[in-house]
Structure 1
């Protein structure tokens, strides 16, 4: 296939300037989807493409079906490369010639929803298949195009991680709560690397399970310091999280980058398709501190395991803001979908009375609120709540909507005195 010389392509853009168009930066909207070698997308786009089996995918969303003209922006290189572009069943080859800075991909009839433009290698004369920076989309129809548009506040990174989503639970007012109990199931096939399925959140931290690598999974419990920083080394001594006690084989230390504080985790081979039980408590100690404790029920041995107990200074609170969330913390896997189910959730007050939870409000992070990514959902699914993100699915759930499930009937059968 031929290509448009740079000056002709710029003239084409000028003549069609009145029509909807988009410059989709690959740094925030493309992924390496195949290949024996890791050649990931950087903030500059596709820049290290040297292996023929490496493949990439560029994602964007259309609110209706439309005919579009597309082109790729590229950094000039000295040798010719032949590549192929594919959406659905349509595929066509294109040639990147020496010195070329834009290459025409032709006209495509696209349906509504998410589009995945696959790029594959065919042949090359030099050492690379090209350094591509942006996908240019132009149409002569009115259409809304959604994608990660800018890199302010590192949004390419957050966008490639995908939208984080949350459920904020409704609980009775004017009570002091100490306990939160819940049960969580990750469906089979919905547990890719980078997933954090957070079961029991509170105003000062979170408690859930992670997929850290092909061979390692963790139960993670963290409490933020009252001192606001992303660097734990900056926390003053009198505002550091203190470990009160921890369970067998549990690691404890500090964390940073998304706030800072005390972290604990147990390496544990949890499985998709199995329902796990979580219990944690928040209680002021009467001395200006608050103690946070987390327990995980191991169904293999049928016992509650202590994860850790932390003391947070300059804090006097009971359990606040019970919530759950779903996120991907690895930007290499933001194009892969994940889902989690929540059920049988209860909030326990300081007097030992359990109150069932049946209503939750669905919310999302900055990437979701800006509609840079629309592959997110959450709410009620039968007898359970659910959260879902990644994988570029549609339709999505409106942020701020309330969802209700039948109230659970059987309160938690937990002997508090027998907890480790």
Structure 2
């Protein structure tokens, strides 16, 4: 089973604990405990591999540098900045060394900046070794950033760097599972689950991405359900999507397209599971609020139909995305949830944030119910303590999710939050939605 389907099943498990009370912000023993266990108190230096913890955070368009399974390679440009992150549990001294080697020259000098303090380190052609860098006093618990930048070289390369050696008097947290470095670099995915009444046919949600939080590689998933999801993505500098996907049946039955709206692209997808995908290229704007409606209902022939609509405030109209038919299932809408994720691993150092407001469910009889409780959960990267830069909860009357950016104050997962009821039934006539 692929990662995405595992994610959806983890959401289902998480939603089973969604209740009506607001939980206190107690420590998440699974994620915090895993973090301490993975590194322990650093009496000896620990190895923070660049393969799972580093990013190229600044580079020219023609830069050659890459982060591989072995770490930093092809380091040629003095304009490239390579940033590595680890987390300390308490303030105090932190000592760093480089595990590096030099090839294609005799000497090079690189600048290593630890938590803002620069050190110049000379590498030589004596083979792979650990090069001492220096010690800084970290002022508070949280992530420490170590930047590498080339200063001078007498050959073609500044060197290959496989890891940092880090010593501290506090617990260290970093990605230490080589089999999942790709997911660690993508960063933790976080979700907010909503408990809907039985026989829910329609789910309504409103989504706002704050200005400056619309990073490339972001998926702000608004309307998730037991068999798929719908939301908005940033695909590139010039392309954004409204995406609606439905998974194939577990027994291999294929999801098929019933109909789609104007300009909507449909295809099948694979890689992280299989199913039917539909998307509308639409340049949505950070700071604006977008509205989403999904419908799930049995088709009377042993399957169920899944439909989705998106309200574009710039056009003042609802846009029909598509209807998909999934075989071998008779269901209304279940496991309502939203999530926030990054799908480009090289952009995993960037912070993302989104808010969700005014959630409602409409049953088969046409009665609307406001959903005011959300359950905040995380994926394996979060629960296994590989990354701790995640948060979620309620603020300004809305639920919010946050991840990436290596911020210090995370919010423990597996707790419930309650927003104030708006009493504002969605201003949408579902019978008049376009098809």
Distance 1:70 1:415 in 2: 61
Aligned position for 2:151? 122
TM-score by length of 1: 0.90
8 Å CA contact 2:56–2:82 kept in 1: the answer is: yes
Q: How many Å apart are 1:170 and its aligned residue?
A: 2.5
Q: How many Å apart are 1:416 and its aligned residue?
A: 2.0
Aligned position for 2:26? none
Distance 1:25 1:375 in 2: 18
Superposed CA deviations along residues 255-313 of structure 1, whole A, max 9, x for unmatched, are: 11221100010000000000000001011112111100000011122111110100001
Superposed CA deviations along residues 369-405 of structure 1, whole A, max 9, x for unmatched, are: 0111111000101210000000000211111011111
Aligned position for 1:62? 88
Q: How many Å apart are 1:74 and its aligned residue?
A: 1.8
Q: How many Å apart are 1:90 and its aligned residue?
A: 1.3
Q: How many Å apart are 1:211 and its aligned residue?
A: 0.2
8 Å CA contact 2:42–2:167 kept in 1: the answer is: no
8 Å CA contact 1:244–1:310 kept in 2: the answer is: yes
- 5 Å-filtered alignment, 1:285-364, equals 285-364=299-378
8 Å CA contact 1:40–1:332 kept in 2: the answer is: no
Alignment pair present for 1:405 and 2:431: no
Q: Secondary structure at the match of 1:417?
A: helix
Aligned position for 2:221? 198
- Unmatched segments (≥5 aa) in structure 1: 1-16, 229-235
Which sits farther off after the overlay, 106-115 or 271-280? Answer: 106-115
8 Å CA contact 2:99–2:161 kept in 1: the answer is: yes
Superposed CA deviations along residues 186-244 of structure 1, whole A, max 9, x for unmatched, are: 0000011000000000000010000000000000000111247xxxxxxx5xx111000
Aligned position for 1:377? 391
Which of residues 12, 17, 28 is equivalent to 2:52?
28
8 Å CA contact 2:206–2:357 kept in 1: the answer is: yes
- Unmatched segments (≥5 aa) in structure 2: 1-40
- After superposition, the Cα gap between the structure-2 partners of 1:163 and 1:18, relative to the gap in structure 1 and judged at 3 Å, is closer
8 Å CA contact 2:218–2:234 kept in 1: the answer is: yes
Which of residues 132, 135, 138 is equivalent to 2:161?
132
Give the count of matched residue pairs.
Answer: 389
Aligned position for 1:51? 77
Aligned position for 1:365? 379
Distance 1:75 1:256 in 2: 39
Q: Secondary structure at the match of 1:403?
A: strand
Which of residues 149, 153, 165 is equivalent to 2:190?
165
Alignment pair present for 1:109 and 2:137: yes
Superposed CA deviations along residues 25-49 of structure 1, whole A, max 9, x for unmatched, are: 1011000011113433122211121
Aligned position for 1:254? 268
Q: How many Å apart are 1:339 and its aligned residue?
A: 0.3
Q: How many Å apart are 1:408 and its aligned residue?
A: 2.2
| Cα RMSD for the two superposed structures | 1.4
Aligned position for 2:7? none
Q: Secondary structure at the match of 1:163?
A: coil
Q: Secondary structure at the match of 2:122?
A: strand
Distance 2:236 2:66 in 1: 17
Q: Secondary structure at the match of 1:258?
A: coil
8 Å CA contact 2:102–2:123 kept in 1: the answer is: no
- 5 Å-filtered alignment, 1:228-243, equals 239-243=253-257
